[in-house]
Amino acid sequence: MCLKRGTLLAKYLPLGRETKDLDFFIQKLSNTEKSLESVLRSVCDIDVNDSFVFEIVKVDVLEHIHMAYTGAQISLLAKFGATKTAIRMDLGFGDIVEAIDYQMSLTATTKGPLFESKISLRCYPKEFIFAGKTRDSSFSRRRKYSHEGFS
């Protein structure tokens, strides 16, 4: 999985609004409901002893008519004790962008990190985040991405 778009852009710029989903470019996995559910179930079933539980709510395979690649929308439910949070992911398949490794610092308190202090993610290079935002704003009636790309 390769992180891209709004969540990644927010690591570089203060956006002024939070993105509502996670966007990933997927490599080495077919875009079928069966394969996506199988992989997601395997990931959700991993117990890392942190009290988080993840459930698959919905997997929808999509066709992007304005792009040269297909996608999927994933809905998960994250549980931490009595707290429940919906997680939405947009997955893209077949993009030709070359991913880079990015070191991301995680949330910490004055006493130290809550979990690890840093993680390494595969992600789009900065230039391609803006290119995707600009391209998508031309196809969006609401132009929701223009704010992020040009502010």
Q: Is the pLDDT of residue 13 over 80?
A: no
Instruction: Give domain status of residue 147, yes or no.
Output: no
Q: Which amino acid is at 67?
A: M
* Predicted pLDDT of residue 7: 65
What does pTM read for this prediction? 0.69
Q: Looking at residue 41, which CATH number applies to its domain?
A: 3.10.450
Domain-located, residue 19: yes
| Residue 125 domain-assigned (yes or no) | yes
pLDDT higher than threshold 70 for residue 138: no
pLDDT tens, residue by residue, 65-97: 666 668 899 999 999 999 999 999 988 887 777
Evaluate whether residue 59 is within a structural domain. yes
Tally the domains of the chain: 1
**What's the whole-number mean pLDDT along residues 113-136?**
74
Q: 149 lies in a domain? A: no
Which domain, by its residues, includes 108?
2-140
What distances in angstroms separate CA 126 from CA 30, 35, 41, 98, 133, one per listed residue?
A: 26, 30, 31, 12, 11
